[in-house]
């Protein structure tokens, strides 16, 4: 940033309060069916009037890969540098259009703005139509300005590859560069030269660059307005990029394209998460001092005062899944200290004596088939999908011997319960082979829940449980810490932005110490404890942390309150210390109390989702709390289309509401002028 606006731990103002909301969820009177960068100005005004001083966003990068609603997820970047064209505010340029075009724009804007949820596909298509029309009017003069030339010179390292990618993606109606022919299989300056020789193609490239320039100007302008009100803006850095992205197309050597990143089973998904992103080739990145990452950070610093490093655990180790798998259970941590056969046997496990296949291949017997598919379906399942190998054992037929092959059965009208059962058969293993060395092994996550494990006698179960606990809870901790100290310092030192990490999930015990040493704020969500307790004890929240009541991946407070009656009752009596039966619904006083408890922590930042702020009052909440949810991580492809139920102009003009928030915050630790 070119100004003096800073956000620092232990600063003149030790505690900060904010609101979390995706750009796409914002709603103003001038929108075009979706939130826009310019809306940040009205949001900042509302935040300032309400006694808040920080806005937290989700990633704002372009995600146009599938060319449909699946691109609505902000975490599947087509470029970690390019801003998403859907956030462009067209209204400042509408006067350049013809009268008929202006009339059409106004009608379509009114129709889209009336929707309660985002129509992603229609909104993006219409925005591109009008952006192209505006480019015809002012594109050439804009690209001739000195300011634009400075922007292009500074960003051409990624901008040219991105623009070329977009043009080729649209030409072939696919983001899969392997379908573009050998001349375009990977980006190079030669590709740029070839594309720019054709005048029509050159104009398409210029349109992409023109839109990126306008987006840059609008986001910079909005953030500068936020700063004028004393409001900081916190961005979000996605853990990965899509394998069909301009970044992977231009820099394939820094990615492991044959692997997929994800997460092991957690409260979000019992079968783990498969994000389908290629994993990073950290050794290759290290050769340039993590240049791609440092460039990414300096690009973020153009707009943001702080950032949330998505899945910071990935900088210690990532959950790596083979490209043949669909779900997350067949992955293993990478890098990780895998186990040779002799070490497994040192635990009293007859690894080679019984045959390694008993441990690494799907364990399938009649009773396993009955348990998964039902006894009445056994014969059909065996005949259709399995081969008998003797001694009561079966193996999967070749046409479904990977989960990806099973996934393809959906196009053949195979019912979901059969596909899910076949996935479970694939996952019925005790060990998975290391992805780099097939003679090294990792215990399969949650192996004790498999029927393969249950088949064993008590003695061998005990041996496997001891191995499992040693492997997952201690063996790799020191090794992973070394990995983090190689990467995170270079990334953090690249800018002066306040660093925050999302450290939820299966957290090694030394992660908090590493984050504290590097002055990276932790993320604390009370209902998602890292230590296995009932909830996180907010009394012991460290100063270098961000507390929040919910996230984009969780249910909002009102919805969470209704999920588990026994949990809610215990929370009501033993955490809130309120007496009697817990109300069935989270009334405003319930939400207020939970928010108040978060604001009274010692955390430097308390950033509450806008849904939970609105649900503190009866007049602002909507009827169905399920309509407030942004994402469901159990689904690889979720339609991210939540919109605020109120215009930001109305929220800002509601003095009763903003005064309520200001008074509420002032009566918590957030108002303290000294760090306690």
pLDDT given at position 7: 83
Q: Tokens 């850095």 belong to which residue? A: 237
pLDDT given at position 102: 95
Can you tell me whether residue 548 is helix, strand or coil? strand
Pair 403, 325: CB distance under 8 Å: yes
Q: Tokens 């460290």 belong to which residue? A: 542
Q: How far is CA 294 from CA 217, 285, 299, 517, 590, in A?
A: 22, 11, 9, 20, 43
Q: How far apart are alpha carbons 151 and 590 in whole angstroms?
A: 49
Q: Could you give the count of Cα atoms lying within 13 Å of 174 in the half-sphere of its Cβ? A: 9
Q: Tokens 């588990």 belong to which residue? A: 564
Listed as own residue / partner, the contacts of 107-114 with beta carbons closer than 8 Å and 24 or more positions apart are: 108/32, 109/31, 109/32, 109/33, 112/31, 112/32, 112/33, 112/34, 113/27, 113/29, 113/31, 113/32, 113/33
Write down how long the chain is.
676
Query: Taking all residues of the chain, what is their mean pLDDT, rounded to a whole number?
Result: 95
Predicted confidence band of residue 3 (pLDDT cuts 50, 70, 90): very low
Predicted confidence band of residue 83 (pLDDT cuts 50, 70, 90): very high
Pair 76, 242: CB distance under 8 Å: yes
Q: How far apart are alpha carbons 616 and 590 in whole angstroms?
A: 8
Among residues 530, 499, 21, the alpha carbon closest in space to that of 237 is found at 499
pLDDT given at position 399: 97
- Say which residues have a Cβ less than 8 Å from residue 365's Cβ, sequence separation at least 6: 392, 393, 394, 455
pTM of the model: 0.92
Mean pLDDT, residues 68-95? 97
pLDDT given at position 4: 54
Predicted confidence band of residue 674 (pLDDT cuts 50, 70, 90): confident
The least confident of 130-134, 416-420, 506-510 is: 506-510
Domain chopping of the chain, boundaries: 324-475
Of the chain, the percentage scoring pLDDT greater than 70 comes to: 99
pLDDT per residue over 222-266, tens digit each? 999 999 999 999 999 998 999 999 999 999 999 999 999 999 988
Strand-strand pairing, 498-501 and 306-309: parallel
* 320 bridge partner residues: 261, 332
Q: How far apart are alpha carbons 508 and 487 in whole angstroms?
A: 17
Q: How far is CA 365 from CA 402, 447, 450, in A?
A: 18, 17, 13
Pair 518, 350: CB distance under 8 Å: no
């Amino acid at each position: 940033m070119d100004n003096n606006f800073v956000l620092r731990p232990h600063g003149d103002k030790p505690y900060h309060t904010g609101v979390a909301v995706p750009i796409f969820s914002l709603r103003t009177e001038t929108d075009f069916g979706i939130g826009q960068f310019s809306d940040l100005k009205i949001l900042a005004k509302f935040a300032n009037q309400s006694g808040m001083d920080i806005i937290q966003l989700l990633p704002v990068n372009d995600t146009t890969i599938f060319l449909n609603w699946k691109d609505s997820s902000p975490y599947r970047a087509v470029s970690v540098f390019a801003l998403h064209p859907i956030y462009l505010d067209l209204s400042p340029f509408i006067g350049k259009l013809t009268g008929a075009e202006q009339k059409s724009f106004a009608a379509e804007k009114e129709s889209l703005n009336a929707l309660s949820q985002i129509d992603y596909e229609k909104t993006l298509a219409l925005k591109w139509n009008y952006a192209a029309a505006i480019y015809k009017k002012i594109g050439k003069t804009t690209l001739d300005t000195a300011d634009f030339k400075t922007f292009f010179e500074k960003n051409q390292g990624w901008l040219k590859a991105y623009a070329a990618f977009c043009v080729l993606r649209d030409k072939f109606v696919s983001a899969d560069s392997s379908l573009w022919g050998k001349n375009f299989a990977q980006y190079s300056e030669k590709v740029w030269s070839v594309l720019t020789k054709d005048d029509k193609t050159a104009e398409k490239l210029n349109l992409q660059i023109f839109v990126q320039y306008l987006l840059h100007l609008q986001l910079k302008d909005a953030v500068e307005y936020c700063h004028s009100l004393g409001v900081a803006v916190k961005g979000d850095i996605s853990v990965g990029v899509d394998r069909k992205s301009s970044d992977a197309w231009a820099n394939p050597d820094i990615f492991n394209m044959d692997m997929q990143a994800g997460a092991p089973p957690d409260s979000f998904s019992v079968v783990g998460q498969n994000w389908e992103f290629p994993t990073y080739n950290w050794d290759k990145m290290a050769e340039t001092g993590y240049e791609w990452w440092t460039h990414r950070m300096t690009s973020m610093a153009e707009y943001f005062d702080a950032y949330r490093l998505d899945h910071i655990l990935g900088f210690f180790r990532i959950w790596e899944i083979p490209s043949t798998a669909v779900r997350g259970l067949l992955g293993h941590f990478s890098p990780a200290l895998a186990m040779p056969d002799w070490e497994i046997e040192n635990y009293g496990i007859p690894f080679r004596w019984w045959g390694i296949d008993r441990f690494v291949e799907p364990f399938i017997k009649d009773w396993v088939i009955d348990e998964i598919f039902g006894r009445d379906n056994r014969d059909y399942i065996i005949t259709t999908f399995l081969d008998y190998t003797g001694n009561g054992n079966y193996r999967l037929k070749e046409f479904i011997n990977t989960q990806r092959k099973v996934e393809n059965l959906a196009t053949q009208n195979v019912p979901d319960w059969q596909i899910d059962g076949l996935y479970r058969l694939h996952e019925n293993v005790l060990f998975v082979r290391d992805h780099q060395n097939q003679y090294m092994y990792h215990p399969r996550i949650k192996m004790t829940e498999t029927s393969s494990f249950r088949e064993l006698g008590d003695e061998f179960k005990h041996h496997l449980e001891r191995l499992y606990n040693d492997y997952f809870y201690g063996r790799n901790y020191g090794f992973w810490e070394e990995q983090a100290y190689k990467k995170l310092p270079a990334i953090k030192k690249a800018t002066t932005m306040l660093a925050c990490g999302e450290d939820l999930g299966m957290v090694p015990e030394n992660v908090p110490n590493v984050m504290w040493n590097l002055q990276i704020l932790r993320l604390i969500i009370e209902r998602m404890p890292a230590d296995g307790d009932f909830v996180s004890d907010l009394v012991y929240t460290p100063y270098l942390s961000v507390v929040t009541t919910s996230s984009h991946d969780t249910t909002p407070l009102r919805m969470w309150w209704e999920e588990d009656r026994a949990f809610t009752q215990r929370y009501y009596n033993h955490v809130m210390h309120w007496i009697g039966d817990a109300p069935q619904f989270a009334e405003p006083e319930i939400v207020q109390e939970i928010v108040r408890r978060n604001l009274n922590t010692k955390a430097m930042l308390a950033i509450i989702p806008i849904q939970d702020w609105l649900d503190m009052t009866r007049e602002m909440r909507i009827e169905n709390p399920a309509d407030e949810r942004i994402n469901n991580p159990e689904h690889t492809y979720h339609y991210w289309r939540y919109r605020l139920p109120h215009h930001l102009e109305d929220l800002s003009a509601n003095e009763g509401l903003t005064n309520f928030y200001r008074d509420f915050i002032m009566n918590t630790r957030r108002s303290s002028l000294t760090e306690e």
